[in-house]
Amino acid sequence: MNPLEKHLISYEQALALKKLGFDEPCFGGYDMETLKLWIGYLNDGEQFNREYYYPAPTYSQAFRWIREKFKLHYPIAVRNNRIWIYDKWSLSGYKTNEESELACLRKLI
């Protein structure tokens, strides 16, 4: 596994962000036919063409894009060895940063 893969959002999240209008340069992308993740720099060059790849942003890039485009924020805090996401409907606790990032991104999307 490429060490960058853990920093990029999943195919399902990339597709959901694409439907919301995300189309920024990324370090990776999912092939639209095979769904395989390719690591590199998505641009309009020969290697990556946005007509054939869904951009795969990093988590921080996805969060930043959502904050800027939709003005959405979810406070995240650590308490009692758990990571908590606060929203207006509920309070959810997660054991790892990865779990909390995935859950938070799902809620934002």
What confidence score (pLDDT) does residue 46 get? 45
Tokens 């606790």 locate to 93
Helix, coil or strand: residue 19 = helix
Distances (CA, A) of 98 to 10, 25, 52, 70, 77: 12, 23, 28, 23, 14
Higher local confidence (pLDDT), 42 or 33: 33
Q: Residues 13, 35: contact at Cβ < 8 Å?
A: no
Closest CA to 101 of 54, 62, 55: 62
Tokens at 34, concatenated = 């095979």
Residue pLDDT, tens place only, 42-97: 455 444 556 788 889 998 899 889 888 887 766 666 667 766 666 654 556 667 76
3-state helix/strand/coil string of 43-76: CCCCCCCCCCEEECCEHHHHHHHHHHHHCCCCCE
What confidence score (pLDDT) does residue 2 get? 77
